[in-house]
Amino acid sequence: MGRQLSTPTAILLGSAMIAAAVYLGLRHGPAAVPPGARPAAAEALQAGPAASAPPARAGAAAPQTVPRDEVARQAARALDAHRPAIVARCYEPAIAAQPEPRAVKYVFNITFDAQGRQIARGLIEDRETARPEVTACLVGALPPVEIAPPGANVRVDVPFSLP
């Protein structure tokens, strides 16, 4: 019989993953503003909407943004590139221990910055095909994914299933 996580252990494990994500996210955040220094955004809000628009440069084109559906396709390809390693490391051992359910379905919520680097990632597991041991392994085994620079921050939902 497979070993199951107790509810308190699962909560502790989830809290540790969230704390690590927050720590790593804040570690790469913007530098602290010294006291007395005013951020440009605060000055722009006080000056009004006309003052907040950057001056137009002659011949300068606005940055192109990639459509959300194209970002989702690129993210799906990036996730699929890791599929063989995830199947071998996470899925196959779980199937060997308990063969049902065979398929495991997820939806990744991924946010990319303008350069195409992952800045946030969430994971929704389908309740009908839930396999907590596979999910825990997947969270730890999947590195941050990257795509071609979309030109702006973009959040997408990407379906993903195993095998």
pLDDT (0 to 100) of residue 63: 56
Question: Sorting pLDDT into bands at 50, 70 and 90, what band is 42?
Answer: very low
Query: Which run of H or of E encompasses 32?
Result: none
How many H-runs (helices) and E-runs (strands) does the chain carry? Answer: 7, 3
pTM for this one? 0.58
pLDDT in tens, 108-136: 999 999 999 999 999 999 998 888 999 99
Would you state the pLDDT for residue 65? 72
- The pLDDT-based confidence of 16 (bands split at 50, 70, 90) is confident
Domain spans of the chain?
Answer: 67-163
46 token code pair:
């006080």
Q: Give the pLDDT of residue 101.
A: 85
Average pLDDT of the residues in 132-152: 92
**Cα–Cα dist 28/101, whole Å:** 39
**Mean pLDDT, residues 24-47 taken together:** 51
pLDDT tens for residues 56-96?
Answer: 444 445 456 778 999 999 999 999 999 999 999 999 999 89
Whether the Cβ atoms of residue 158 and residue 108 lie closer than 8 Å to each other = yes
Scored b (16 or more CB within 10 A) or e, 39-51 reads eeeeeeeeeeeee
